[in-house]
Amino acid sequence: MEKPLKTGVLGLDEQGRFLLEATRGNNNFKIVAVADSDPNLAQQFGKLWNCAFYDDYRQLITQNQLDCLLVSAPLHTCAEHLKTALKKKFNIFRMPPFARNYSEAAELAKLAQAEGVTFAIANLNRFAKPALAMHNFILQNPAEQFFFILAGAGTKKKGSDPFFEWRGDPVLAGGGVLLYDCWEIIDQIVQNFGVPQQVYCVTGSTAVDSMQRQYLTEDSAIITMKFNDMLCGTLLAGRAVDSLGKTEQNRLIAQGLNMAIRIESNSFEITGKGGEMLKREDFEVDYLEDLRKAVENFGSYLLRPDEADSADKNPLICSAADNLKNMAVIDAAYLSARTGMPEQPEKILKIS
């Protein structure tokens, strides 16, 4: 594959515009087409980026032969079109979540593998400085044993926003706060501590009785996780603060035998047994910069794949295989919320 990569963008919402901006100045990509269901928005950004524009996702895919497709459009608007894109050998970079459920994610991952193309998810915590600080500390201190994890995540509910209108439909959205607002924190947990053996979940909604038929996805969730006989954890999720890289609630605490480590949206700290501060790092966190790094990793991997005999290795950091683990944890949590019993993500992973 040669650069620049002929690139299309599906969805020009706020995340889609960030995706476009993340390619600016990157010689690996050339934006040749954009699409959005809003014709005015599609035309505006088509002219701005001097490229073809469409108000139909299917037309963008069928009328172009692209190297890659950057996707922020909701799955219910484009899932079938993504399958067409994979069959046309388009490599796909998607804003999370991966899919609405594990079956949909596994189908997309299998199709990408069968067609010999790449499907990546923009797990920005893999590039964010606080999360990297925690991950590197855990890798560099394998002897430290952790026995409890406490995590929290959430965003502000915007009831009048059309975005939340479709998110209120469990068929269209696939889920609520757990799927959409906890993706990054679940990815951090799985990356650092592995897939839990069991998860138990309860969920809640702020919708009053008269609204139940209009709004059926959850606004809050509590998940307890058992990883092994020593390590367990709790994730608290709720729509509470602003989102999209501004003041998003995102924290993870891991308590070990000798210390506790903690990350928030812009800091990493280590405290000793007595609660004394051993280390604290504060970071300037930039959502767009983290997205640029993720897009750069995707492009570099496509242009210079990681080969065993290659001196220039470019491993894909956010592969579909990794994200199937996240999807299995989320599916197990939703299953547990329905059954009222602990469920095993590993059983869901075995489906694929």
The residues of the chain scoring below 70 in pLDDT are 156-168, 207-215, 240-249, 306-313, 352
* φ/ψ of residue 351, rounded to 5: -60, -40
263-282 tens-digit pLDDT: 998 999 999 988 899 999 99
pLDDT of residue 210: 46
Instruction: Tell me the sheet residues that pair with 151.
Output: 235, 252
pLDDT of residue 305: 79
318-333 tens-digit pLDDT: 999 889 999 999 999 9
Helix (H, G, I), strand (E, B) or coil at 195: coil
pTM (2 decimals)? 0.90
Is 63 exposed, middle or buried, given 0-12, 13-18 or 19+ CB atoms closer than 10 A?
A: exposed
The class of domain 125-284+324-349 in CATH terms is alpha beta
Q: Where are the domains of the chain?
A: 5-124+288-318, 125-284+324-349
What does the alpha-carbon distance between residue 198 and residue 322 come to, in Å, rounded to a whole number? 18
pLDDT of residue 274: 87
Q: Report whether 352 contacts 110 (CB < 8 A).
A: yes
The pLDDT mean for the chain works out to 89
Fold for the domain defined by 5-124+288-318: Rossmann fold (3.40.50)
